[in-house]
Chains A and B, each alone.
Chain A
Amino acid sequence: MPTENALLLKVEGLGKHFGGVRALEEYNLTLRDGELMGLIGPNGAGKTTVFNLITGVIRPTKGHVFFRGKDITHSRPDQNAALGMARTFQNIRLFKQLSVIDNVKVGVHMHHGTGLWATALNLPNLRRSEQAIEERALEILSAFGLMDYKEELAENLPYGDQRKVELGRALATAPRLLLLDEPAAGMNPQETGEIIRLISRIRQEYDLTILLVEHNMKVIMGACESIQVIDRGEVLCLGTPEEIQHDPRVIEAYLGKPKGEGHA
């Protein structure tokens, strides 16, 4: 059971105010090793803000984030990436002008350094690590069925495959925690099914802990063991897909109060 596993991510009392707008208030989250949790909520609930705060893209107004036992509340995104955190974006953000394989290699490179001096001096170990990067990138591409496209510019790929490249690039950083922001957005049912299978496969193969934001309920209900619902910057509830589907607070947040009660 996930509860027996070690703590990976702990978010305590996180708050973010943009001027007078309280995007997030008293947000808590606990993720254990190997867990796959869904994060849902109506538009503007604060889901993307949660992602941005955890990865360090923006700084919280208050609260703390602990990752692998370290306080990373004030860490930069590249430091968090080095600790084992990776994410994908709601609107795909590939390096469009780089080839597919280079996109993945950028992810791998972190564990080998950019090698300023090694590059300048063309040291022999450079070639070896260059080869290791290449091999790792190819491994990921073949796992994702993207080998045919490897020299193609990322922007020339079909939408669904761009999503896969983005996922592959995130995996290339060898993360412990993967944050997926609407991985099935804009996909047709067949592609959606494919992405669900891909997520559960990589989760097994790479021992990942995943936090998943998604509007597609088929994905959320099908893939996640537990789901956290947030609304207007606050946690509404946490439970299994079953529980969430029948929770009146959730139904209210999404659909509003039933007519009879509303005016009672």
Chain B
Amino acid sequence: MVGYIAQQLVNGLILGSMYALVAIGFTMIYGIIRLINFAHGDIVMIGAFVTLGLVISGQIPFPVIIILVILAGALMGIIIERAAFRPMRGAPQVTGFITSLAVSILLQNLGILLLTAQPRNFFCPDYLQTVFNLGSVSLRTIDLAIVVIAVVLMVFLVLLVRFTRLGMAMRATAENLKVALLMGININRIIMLAFAIGSGLAGVAGMMWGARYGQIDPLLGFVPGLKAFVAAVIGGVGSIPGAMLGGYLLGFAEVLFVGLLPPIYSSYRDAFVFIILILILLVLPTGLLGRKMEEGV
């Protein structure tokens, strides 16, 4: 039993890492331009397909693939921001929200058009499939890689935001965009960067998603997008550490729910996720680490 729980906890860690990575982008974009970006999950899908393409195309070393997938995600984020969201800058929040739904639908259908709706097997190189056992917990190399990569990227991001000038400019912009502009901060660049970083992380999450579940299709972004949204809200929208915390909490909760309750309940896992969300918001309306909302300017 202890071994079983340990295994479930490890699974929760893996799932939580993926949720956290996607939730960070969600929260960063919301934090800076107050946009609920429903197209964010579709970057996960793009990341998954880019990874598959790179893996199939030849003997590219794994670390290079990771970097290329991050860059591809970042590039997509920049393109989407420039093409869809920048023209909507200053419009009411609802407009941005609907724009993001449109972008999401566009990306999904573009995916179906170019790649067909047929799920594809996610080809994972053998060296990533090696199973090894730690006591009663069994892990594949890729599972370990998912957790390590996620944690490294998150630590890097937190350091960037906390301790660099760039991070300071980002925090200032997130708090008050108009004043930041008056202080000489080029907010277009900061917004672009938030999209690039957030989407880069979502891209990597796509790679992980494919490797973990073995099959990908153009509509796969919906679930991670929704879960990341929930994770971000649980943690407190706009807070990066909150998104991480929310992602891991959600990952653990989901896995433990499925793992510990009788199997007949396991199809209620998503209902369970939303019950957690509702309970947390009842007690803490701004999420676990969220701050009291104040309207800027």
Contacts and interface: CB of A to CB of B under 8 A. Distances in A.
Interface of A: 55, 57, 76-78, 81-82, 86-87, 89, 93, 95-98, 102, 105-107, 109-110, 112, 114-116, 119, 130, 133, 169, 173
A57 B297 CA distance: 12
A221 to B, nearest CB: 28
Chain A contact residues, majority secondary structure:
helix
Interface string B83-124: 000000000000000000000000000000000000000000
A87 B179 CA distance: 10
29 contacts: A57-B178, A57-B182, A76-B181, A78-B181, A78-B185, A81-B182, A87-B182, A89-B179, A93-B297, A95-B172, A97-B175, A97-B291, A98-B168, A102-B168, A102-B171, A105-B168, A106-B168, A106-B185, A107-B183, A109-B169, A114-B165, A114-B185, A114-B186, A114-B189, A116-B166, A116-B193, A119-B160, A119-B166, A130-B165
Of B169, B184, B189, most A-chain CB atoms within 10 Å: B184
B180 interface: yes
A26 to B, nearest CB: 26
A102 B166 CA distance: 12
Given A110-B183, A119-B166, 12 more contacts: A81-B182, A82-B184, A93-B179, A95-B171, A96-B175, A98-B175, A102-B171, A109-B165, A109-B185, A114-B165, A114-B169, A130-B165
B129 to A, nearest CB: 33
Interface residues of B, number: 26
B164 interface: yes
Given A95-B179, A97-B291, A78 B186 contact: yes
Nearest to A122: B164
B183 A114 contact: no
A77 B184 CA distance: 7
A173 B165 contact: no
Nearest to A113: B165
Contacts of B176: 93, 95
Interface of B: 160, 164-166, 168-169, 171-172, 175-176, 178-187, 189-190, 193, 291, 294, 297
B189 A110 contact: no
A107 B185 CA distance: 9
Nearest to A110: B184
Contacts of B294: 96
Contact of A95 (B166, B175, B184, B190): B175
Contacts of B168: 98, 102, 105-106, 109
Contact of A98 (B160, B172, B178): B172
A116 B190 CA distance: 10
Nearest to B296: A93
A252 to B, nearest CB: 34
Contacts of B182: 55, 57, 77-78, 81, 86-87
Contacts of B165: 105, 109, 112, 114-115, 119, 130, 133
B166 A114 contact: yes
Contacts of B183: 78, 81, 106-107, 110, 169, 173
B161 to A, nearest CB: 11
